[in-house]
C-alpha cells in the first residue's frame, strides 16, 4: 500500500437495505463495512442477502491497487437496465480479503440505508 493509505474492513451489526425505485434489492444484518483513505464508507453485502435474480454480469472491470480487480453487474428491473450499479471483488488483494465475493451498491444510484439512515455517496 501507499504510505498513509489505509483500508479498514470490519463486520457490522447495522441493518443495511438497498432499494431502487421503491423496490427492495437487498437486506442484511451481515454486512462488512469498508473504510478507505479518501473514499466514502462502503458496505459489502453477502450474495445470499441480495436479489441476485435481478443482476446481470457485465464485461466491465476496474482495477484498484489496494483492493484488486472489481467485477460489475447491472440491474434489470422490469426490463429497465441500470448499468454497472453493483460491484464485487472476486479475487481481492490480501488487504481486502474480507469482502471477497460480497456485493456493494453505488449509494448515489440506489437508495442505501444503514439502520434507517441514508448512506451518502
pLDDT over 60 (residue 1): no
Residues whose CB falls within 8 Å of the CB of residue 4, separated by 6 or more in sequence, listed in order: 37
Tell me the per-residue pLDDT of 12-56, one tens digit each, with 9 for 90 and over.
999 999 999 889 999 999 999 999 999 999 999 999 999 999 999
- The b/e string for 81-111 (b: 16+ C-beta within 10 A; e otherwise) is ebeebbbbbeebeebbeebeebbbbebeebb
Grid cell at residue 39: 473514499
The pLDDT of residue 2 is 63
For the chain, which residues make up each domain, given as ranges?
A: 7-110
Distance CA 16, CA 78 (A): 24
14: closest CA among 121, 114, 102? 114
The pLDDT of residue 91 is 94
- 17, 76 in Cβ contact below 8 A? no
Which CATH superfamily hosts domain 7-110? Domain of unknown function (DUF427) (2.170.150.40)
The pLDDT of residue 3 is 67
Tell me the per-residue pLDDT of 68-118, one tens digit each, with 9 for 90 and over.
999 999 998 888 999 999 999 999 999 999 999 999 999 999 999 999 999
- 87, 71 in Cβ contact below 8 A? yes
Amino acid at each position: 500500500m501507499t504510505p498513509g493509505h489505509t483500508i479498514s474492513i470490519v463486520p457490522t451489526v447495522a441493518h443495511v437495505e438497498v432499494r431502487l425505485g421503491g423496490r427492495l434489492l437487498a437486506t442484511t444484518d451481515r454486512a462488512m463495512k469498508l473504510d478507505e483513505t479518501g473514499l466514502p464508507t462502503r458496505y459489502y453485502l453477502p450474495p445470499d442477502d441480495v436479489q441476485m435474480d435481478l443482476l446481470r454480469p457485465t464485461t466491465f472491470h476496474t482495477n484498484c491497487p489496494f483492493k484488486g480487480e472489481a467485477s460489475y453487474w447491472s440491474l434489470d428491473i422490469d426490463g429497465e437496465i441500470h448499468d454497472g450499479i453493483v460491484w464485487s471483488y472476486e479475487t481481492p488483494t490480501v488487504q481486502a480479503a474480507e469482502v471477497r465475493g460480497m456485493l456493494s451498491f453505488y449509494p448515489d444510484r440506489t437508495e442505501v440505508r444503514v439502520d434507517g439512515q441514508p448512506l451518502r455517496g
